[in-house]
């Protein structure tokens, strides 16, 4: 500022007007910034123009720290589609952008409707769903702004696809369909102070601190609580007061897996005190939300604290936001004539944690932390998980379940056993594989949840039996399961803590003579691409996450190559048709034979044969030689055939023809070995042919008009022949 004013006073007369203007302008701007948003840019990425070929994809990872306020993305693409034409484009050629919290979106979008926000190219105001992804067709100009009231994730993945559905992964020799390119700017804004949050960083947020209060005084055996840790969280017993329809927001971080969290308001009273009302009619609404700011319309849990405490079972590990809203204040105190204006309360939060190795409603169940064991020679990162402790003496990648089971007969018949594992950052491109194999009918149900402990009503994925499981979820893939076996994958598993709960249905049914092995592993491609493809790996655009996908063979598609796209019979007919089409080479070969052009005949015939062999291999019927060799021969011979025809048509002497032939053979071989499949080759071959014709014609022309000077050569030539 000081510099500015000096500049203003010193500036010459002519410039003064302009400078004054700019000073005022700058001044006004800074005031606006101070009064406005208390935000700063945490990160800003610019993704330069990138081409996405048909069936290709690109992932972008965006990290969002807890103090982020909003994220904006501006995307420009070469796609030229309007809303009406989108419906007519087949899904296998539709440019799509999908996003998902915590992990990568799958390109195999099933028929889950993606037409939601089709109508507007700007998709502001979407609520990101946790166990699904959202997809939109890419348009020419897209802008999106997601605020921390909308996203609760710490990491967000965008996927740009050119075509979705099972045919995407099918391997194709000739890839048809339009490419498109995109460029994007992504920036993340954050709040300057942690006590001010929200979209505009103008919402005061009070930090709650939690203290441990171990309770051993109660009669444990009677209530079922043993040695549990009760964490009390409060704003240091400060009384808060709210006016009518006023809202206050608190935040609390849960560090470890907890059984439940209760929120209660103590000491609810009116201020100033009025005898006619005791405050029991006031609604003290509480909205709780994991990872994001709650509101009356957007929250995970809600309740009226003036009626009963709010209980959140198995809260997820991480940041929680709790807002308290006072309602019906004026009604309770009898309208506007009352001088009562505020309701006061003390917020009490209690979080119950079980001791180490225990979990469950009564802290009676066993809980095992699983250790990650890196699989040998695995690139990229593959691992399996084993519980550590003396109960496991296994070198294998699986373990016996029975010795680990919880053993109690408290309450109902079923007992629960918990396993906890961690999926590290950047491992989201892998798939979590869970298997349970028993020597008799399986009597376990599996519930899996990210962040918190799963229960009968609270899970992300579950498996009860072959018919009852999370089969509808696109991230759940079930394989070869039977009564004795459960085998499923969680595709592109979210980063963070995962909890696996086993519900033992009938623990009285002698578990001792049962043998069940459990295996949990993080794998690259589900079921080794069903033995119908190769597992490929790539990095996302930020280079932080490596993801894997299957490149399937000609007849299969889908994320795991399990979908047969071309039936066996159809495949055979396709092969026959393709190979037979090369019989067209018979005609020119026959013609060459009749002309006694044996060199051309050899080229046409071998070109036809090599093309047939190449296509047979390409279709996957039979490979006579390695694919590369066959491809080279096919392209080279067909190039040579075309150019030879041109050369044959010239009417020059054999000596020159042989020379041109040799040059052409070298050139076409060079073309075939470098980039055989590029489209410009057709033009190049034609050009070489035409050049050969031209050279031939020139030679002929010059020989005619300089026959005298060349007569010696020609004489020699004819003598030689
Ligand atoms: C997808 O389509 C199939 C048949 O077309 C239907 O059975 C299935 O319920 C659909 N799934 C969803 C999620 O809409
Ligand atoms: C698109 O968005 C604008 C602004 O949000 C809105 O006014 C308009 O009605 C929307 N168009 C459609 C078709 O929904
Ligand atoms: C893209 O959209 C933004 C915001 O809607 C607008 O400011 C910009 O001019 C648009 N650009 C083009 C090239 O249409
Ligand atoms: C990204 O920002 C640059 C300027 O920083 C701008 O030139 C470019 O057009 C932007 N790209 C998109 C896709 O908005
Ligand atoms: C925060 O700022 C926005 C926009 O300036 C405004 O609508 C909102 O009421 C403000 N919230 C608070 C709590 O001041
Ligand atoms: C300890 O537990 C008992 C019984 O569950 C309860 O009555 C008592 O209030 C608890 N004490 C504390 C300090 O939480
Ligand atoms: C705990 O409760 C049981 C019965 O519920 C009772 O017999 C026992 O004396 C109690 N123990 C203590 C320490 O209060
Ligand atoms: C509670 O903890 C004490 C010592 O920390 C231990 O001796 C006792 O066995 C524990 N009780 C239960 C039921 O785990
Ligand atoms: C209490 O509220 C009543 C109206 O409900 C009002 O008439 C009275 O003056 C208030 N008393 C005090 C002490 O404020
Ligand atoms: C509050 O007042 C209502 C009637 O207005 C009464 O029923 C209730 O018992 C009172 N509660 C307390 C705690 O005094
Ligand atoms: C699978 O579980 C469901 C729900 O528990 C049950 O209704 C169904 O009969 C079971 N199916 C089989 C084959 O056991
Ligand atoms: C549990 O096991 C007992 C003893 O083997 C058996 O009688 C009972 O039918 C089983 N219950 C269920 C629900 O399988």
* Residue pLDDT, tens place only, 245-262: 888 999 988 888 888 898
Report CA(226)–ligand 8 centroid distance (Å). 7
Atom of ligand 5 nearest to the CA of 36: 5
| Same domain? 128 vs 9 | no
Residues 433-459 pLDDT 10s: 999 998 888 888 999 999 889 988 888
- pLDDT band for position 35 (50/70/90)? very low
Quote the pLDDT of residue 334.
59
| Same domain? 463 vs 612 | no
| Same domain? 506 vs 381 | yes
Q: Examine the pLDDT at 133 and tell me if it is beyond 70.
A: yes
Please answer whether residues 476 and 488 qualify as being in contact, where contact means their C-beta atoms are separated by less than 8 angstroms.
Answer: yes
Report CA(223)–ligand 7 centroid distance (Å). 10
Q: What is the DSSP letter of 662?
A: H
Q: Examine the pLDDT at 4 and tell me if it is beyond 60.
A: no
For residue 562, being part of any structural domain is answered with: no
- pLDDT band for position 684 (50/70/90)? confident
Please answer whether residues 97 and 138 qualify as being in contact, where contact means their C-beta atoms are separated by less than 8 angstroms.
Answer: yes
Q: Look at ligand 5, atom 9, and give the residue with the nearest C-alpha.
A: 202
The string over 434-460, giving b where at least 16 C-beta atoms fall within 10 Å of a residue's C-beta and e elsewhere, is bbbbbeeebbbbbbbbbbbbbbeeebb
Distance CA 228, CA 340 (A): 42
Report CA(129)–ligand 1 centroid distance (Å). 19
Q: Examine the pLDDT at 146 and tell me if it is beyond 80.
A: yes
- pLDDT band for position 114 (50/70/90)? very low
Quote the pLDDT of residue 508.
57
What mean pLDDT do residues 603-630 have? 79
Of 297, 327, 353, the domain-final residue = 353
Residue with tokens 């008009």: 705
CA-only gyration radius of the chain, Å: 36
Check pocket membership of 203 for ligand 5, CB cut-off 6 A: yes
For residue 538, being part of any structural domain is answered with: no
Q: How many residues does the chain have?
A: 721
Quote the pLDDT of residue 500.
95
| Same domain? 371 vs 407 | yes
Of 461, 493, 524, the domain-final residue = 524
Quote the pLDDT of residue 31.
36
Flag the least confident range among 120-129, 242-251, 311-320. Answer: 120-129
Pocket of ligand 7 (CB under 6 A): 219, 221-222
Check pocket membership of 119 for ligand 1, CB cut-off 6 A: no
Quote the pLDDT of residue 163.
83
For residue 91, being part of any structural domain is answered with: yes
| Same domain? 61 vs 30 | no
Q: Examine the pLDDT at 170 and tell me if it is beyond 80.
A: no
Q: Look at ligand 2, atom 13, and give the residue with the nearest C-alpha.
A: 119
Pocket of ligand 8, candidates 215, 216, 221, 226: which has the most ligand atoms within 8 Å of its Cβ, to mutate?
226
Which of the pair, 574 or 222, is modelled with greater confidence?
Answer: 574
Distance CA 229, CA 114 (A): 45
Q: Please state the domain count of the chain.
A: 5
Q: Look at ligand 1, atom 2, and give the residue with the nearest C-alpha.
A: 111
| Same domain? 635 vs 670 | yes
| Same domain? 457 vs 599 | no
Report CA(355)–ligand 8 centroid distance (Å). 10
For residue 540, being part of any structural domain is answered with: no
- Among candidates 358, 387, 362, which has minimal Cα distance to 257? 358
CATH number at residue 111: 2.60.120.380
Q: Examine the pLDDT at 281 and tell me if it is beyond 70.
A: yes
What mean pLDDT do residues 458-471 have? 88
Check pocket membership of 227 for ligand 6, CB cut-off 6 A: no
The string of DSSP letters for 599-637 reads HHHHHHHHHHHHHHHHHHHHHTS--SS-HHHHHHHHHHH
Q: Look at ligand 6, atom 8, and give the residue with the nearest C-alpha.
A: 218
For residue 222, being part of any structural domain is answered with: yes
Quote the pLDDT of residue 338.
58
Check pocket membership of 471 for ligand 1, CB cut-off 6 A: no
Q: Examine the pLDDT at 1 and tell me if it is beyond 50.
A: no
| Same domain? 316 vs 402 | no
Residues 59-113 pLDDT 10s: 999 999 888 888 899 999 998 877 677 777 777 788 888 888 888 988 875 544 4
pLDDT, mean over the chain: 77
Quote the pLDDT of residue 62.
92
The string over 552-589, giving b where at least 16 C-beta atoms fall within 10 Å of a residue's C-beta and e elsewhere, is bbbbbbbbbbbbbbbeeeebeebbeebbeebeebeebb
The string over 622-632, giving b where at least 16 C-beta atoms fall within 10 Å of a residue's C-beta and e elsewhere, is eeeeeeeebbb
Q: Look at ligand 12, atom 2, and give the residue with the nearest C-alpha.
A: 509
Q: Examine the pLDDT at 225 and tell me if it is beyond 60.
A: no
pTM above 0.85, yes or no: no
Residues 383-422 pLDDT 10s: 889 887 665 555 678 888 888 888 776 556 678 899 999 9
Q: Look at ligand 8, atom 3, and give the residue with the nearest C-alpha.
A: 227
What mean pLDDT do residues 139-166 have? 84
Check pocket membership of 483 for ligand 12, CB cut-off 6 A: no
Residues 564-610 pLDDT 10s: 877 777 777 777 777 777 777 778 888 888 888 888 888 888 888 88
For residue 551, being part of any structural domain is answered with: no
Pocket of ligand 9 (CB under 6 A): 274, 276, 333-334, 338-339
Which ligand is the nearest neighbour of the Cα of 184?
A: 4
Strand 68-77: give its sheet, edge to edge.
Answer: 39-52, 180-191, 68-77, 141-147
Pocket of ligand 7, candidates 215, 217, 218, 219: which has the most ligand atoms within 8 Å of its Cβ, to mutate?
219
| Same domain? 49 vs 111 | yes
Q: Residue 26 sits in which domain range?
A: 2-35
| Same domain? 338 vs 382 | no
Please answer whether residues 389 and 368 qualify as being in contact, where contact means their C-beta atoms are separated by less than 8 angstroms.
Answer: yes
For residue 505, being part of any structural domain is answered with: yes
Check pocket membership of 111 for ligand 1, CB cut-off 6 A: yes
Of 353, 372, 402, the domain-final residue = 353
| Same domain? 456 vs 577 | no
For residue 531, being part of any structural domain is answered with: no
Quote the pLDDT of residue 610.
85
| Same domain? 271 vs 321 | yes
């Amino acid at each position: 500022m000081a510099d500015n004013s000096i500049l203003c006073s010193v500036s010459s007369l002519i410039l003064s007007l302009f400078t004054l203007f700019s000073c005022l302008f700058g001044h006004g701007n800074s005031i606006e910034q101070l009064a406005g948003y208390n935000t700063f840019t945490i990160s800003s990425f610019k993704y330069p123009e990138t081409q996405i070929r048909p069936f290709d994809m690109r992932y972008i990872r965006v990290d969002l720290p807890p103090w982020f306020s909003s994220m904006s993305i501006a995307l420009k693409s070469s796609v030229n589609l309007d809303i009406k034409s989108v419906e007519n484009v087949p899904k296998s050629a539709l440019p799509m952008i999908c996003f998902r919290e915590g992990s990568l979106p799958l390109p195999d979008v099933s028929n889950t409707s993606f037409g939601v926000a089709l109508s507007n190219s700007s998709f502001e105001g979407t609520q990101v769903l946790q166990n699904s992804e959202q997809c939109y067709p890419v348009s020419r100009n897209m802008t999106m702004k997601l605020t921390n009231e909308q996203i609760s994730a710490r990491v967000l993945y965008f996927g740009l696809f050119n075509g979705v559905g099972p045919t995407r992964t099918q391997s194709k020799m000739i890839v048809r369909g339009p490419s498109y390119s995109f460029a994007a700017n992504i920036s993340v804004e954050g709040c300057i102070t942690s006590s001010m949050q929200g979209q505009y960083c103008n919402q005061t947020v009070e930090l709650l601190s939690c203290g441990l209060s171990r309770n051993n005084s109660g009669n444990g055996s009677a209530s079922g609580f043993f040695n549990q840790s009760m964490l009390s969280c409060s704003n240091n017993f400060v009384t808060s007061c709210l006016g009518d329809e006023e809202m206050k927001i608190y935040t609390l971080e849960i560090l470890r897996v907890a059984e439940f969290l209760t929120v209660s308001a103590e000491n609810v009273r009116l201020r100033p005190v009025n005898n006619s009302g005791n405050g029991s009619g006031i609604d003290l609404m509480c909205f709780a939300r994991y990872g994001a700011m709650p509101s009356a319309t957007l929250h995970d849990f809600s309740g009226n604290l003036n009626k009963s405490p709010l209980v959140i079972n198995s809260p997820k590990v991480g940041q929680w936001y709790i807002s308290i809203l006072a309602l019906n204040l004026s009604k309770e105190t009898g309208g506007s004539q009352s001088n009562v204006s505020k309701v006061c309360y003390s917020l009490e939060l209690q979080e119950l944690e079980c001791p180490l190795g225990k979990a469950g409603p009564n802290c009676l169940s066993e809980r095992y932390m699983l250790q990650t064991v890196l699989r040998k020679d695995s690139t990229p990162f593959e691992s399996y998980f084993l519980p550590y402790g003396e109960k496991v003496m296994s070198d294998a990648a699986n373990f016996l379940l029975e010795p680990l089971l919880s053993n109690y007969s408290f309450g109902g018949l079923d007992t629960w056993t918990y396993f906890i594992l961690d999926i590290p950052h950047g491992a989201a491109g892998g798939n979590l594989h869970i298997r349970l194999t028993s020597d008799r009918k399986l009597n376990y149900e599996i519930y899996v949840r990210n962040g918190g402990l799963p229960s009968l009503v609270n899970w992300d994925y579950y498996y009860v039996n072959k018919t009852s499981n999370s089969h509808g979820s696109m991230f759940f893939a079930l394989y070869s399961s039977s009564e004795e076996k459960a085998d499923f994958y969680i595709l592109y598993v979210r980063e963070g803590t995962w909890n696996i709960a086993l519900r033992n249905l009938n623990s009285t049914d002698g578990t001792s003579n049962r043998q069940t092995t459990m295996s949990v592993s993080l794998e690259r491609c589900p079921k080794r691409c069903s033995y119908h493809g190769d597992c490929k790996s790539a990095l996302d655009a930020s280079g932080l996450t490596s993801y894997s996908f299957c490149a399937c063979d000609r007849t299969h598609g889908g994320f795991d190559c399990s979908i047969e796209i071309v039936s066996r019979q159809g495949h055979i007919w396709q092969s026959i048709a393709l190979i037979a089409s090369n019989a067209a080479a018979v005609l020119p070969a026959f013609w060459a034979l009749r002309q006694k052009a044996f060199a051309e005949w050899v080229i046409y015939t071998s070109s036809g044969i090599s093309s047939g062999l190449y296509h047979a291999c390409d279709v996957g019927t039979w490979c006579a030689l390695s694919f590369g060799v066959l491809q080279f021969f096919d392209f080279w011979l067909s190039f040579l055939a075309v150019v030879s025809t041109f050369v044959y048509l010239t009417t020059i002497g054999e000596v020159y023809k042989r020379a041109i032939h040799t040059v052409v053979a070298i050139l076409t071989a060079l073309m075939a070995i470098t980039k055989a499949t590029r489209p410009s080759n057709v033009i190049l071959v034609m050009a070489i042919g035409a050049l050969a014709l031209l050279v031939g014609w020139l030679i002929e022309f010059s020989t005619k008009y300089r026959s005298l000077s060349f007569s010696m050569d020609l004489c020699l030539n004819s003598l030689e022949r």
